[in-house]
Chain A
């Protein structure tokens, strides 16, 4: 019995080396969090070990592992919807509030000064110090917004597919990108001095 267990362990080890990158990048795309994606990949391999008897070589190991991972992703979102729903929508709400806050009640810019940071456009693209500020500002966005803003860079996804995955409508999509840009503008102007 222990011998079989040891066998499973060495197979699993092989699979970790072979498939964990692909599983991880998929989990990262689905959750847009490094930590969560890492945990889900670990959970996937743990679950695979415990039910390796049910894997009878009918499918490719990769396919089998991906089906486990997909269930883990669904569980993750279910759990979060139950425990954290209020929190999550509040973040999106505060995203709307914060971006509204750039304008006064008449819809005019609160400040008409054009921040000097924007003059260094080419430099901003090359400066490593700026990259870390950009990273902070991206992380401040509501998670769904961050995904909306970046998803157009994920291969050749069409807007429609992106919207389906994020469960938003097309008109909502450009609104979200617009709001995200306002927040990024505000954040960069604050932090990049």
Chain B
């Protein structure tokens, strides 16, 4: 029984890995059981799973804002500076 418990109950650090891993690749049966067993008794890791999902949304949102701001266009100022620099050569 102890052996089963030791296999099933992994520390929080390992559990958070599984929480994030499952978003990229399907977990093995063993990993799924480990995740379920741990989540049944650990509020902090349950909360982490929610936070991790929220973080995905936050990163996506940040990226959309950031890319609008930084990625698609070069600032007009900078364009003018380049043109000025060419004229000076």
Judged by a CB distance under 8 angstroms, whether A103 is at the interface is yes
Judged by a CB distance under 8 angstroms, whether A140 is at the interface is no
Q: Within the assembled complex, what's the spacing in Å between the Cα atoms of A177 and B24?
A: 10
Q: Tell me the dominant secondary structure on chain A's binding face.
A: helix
**B interface, how many residues as a size bin?**
35 or more
Given A134-B58, A159-B24: A38 in contact with B71 (beta carbons within 8 A): no
B81: min CB distance to chain A, Å? 7
Task: List B residues 46-89 near A (Cβ within 8 Å).
Answer: 47-48, 50-52, 54-55, 57-67, 70-75, 78-79, 81-83, 85-87, 89
Judged by a CB distance under 8 angstroms, whether A118 is at the interface is yes
Q: Within the assembled complex, what's the spacing in Å between the Cα atoms of A45 and B79?
A: 11
Q: Which of B10, B23, B60, B79 has the most A CB atoms < 10 Å from its CB? A: B79
Point out the residues of chain B lying under 8 angstroms from A107, CB to CB.
10-14
Is the CB–CB distance between A125 and B85 below 8 Å? Answer: no
Q: Within the assembled complex, what's the spacing in Å between the Cα atoms of A90 and B34?
A: 33
Q: Within the assembled complex, what's the spacing in Å between the Cα atoms of A13 and B86?
A: 8
Is the CB–CB distance between A49 and B52 below 8 Å? Answer: no
A–B Cβ pairs within 8 angstroms, 29 of them: A9-B86, A9-B87, A12-B83, A12-B86, A13-B83, A23-B74, A25-B71, A38-B74, A41-B74, A41-B82, A46-B86, A46-B89, A49-B89, A106-B11, A108-B13, A114-B43, A118-B54, A135-B66, A138-B59, A149-B59, A153-B59, A153-B60, A159-B24, A174-B24, A174-B25, A175-B17, A177-B24, A182-B16, A184-B55
CB-based closest 8 A-B pairs: A107-B11, A107-B13, A178-B20, A24-B74, A174-B24, A103-B13, A114-B47, A153-B63
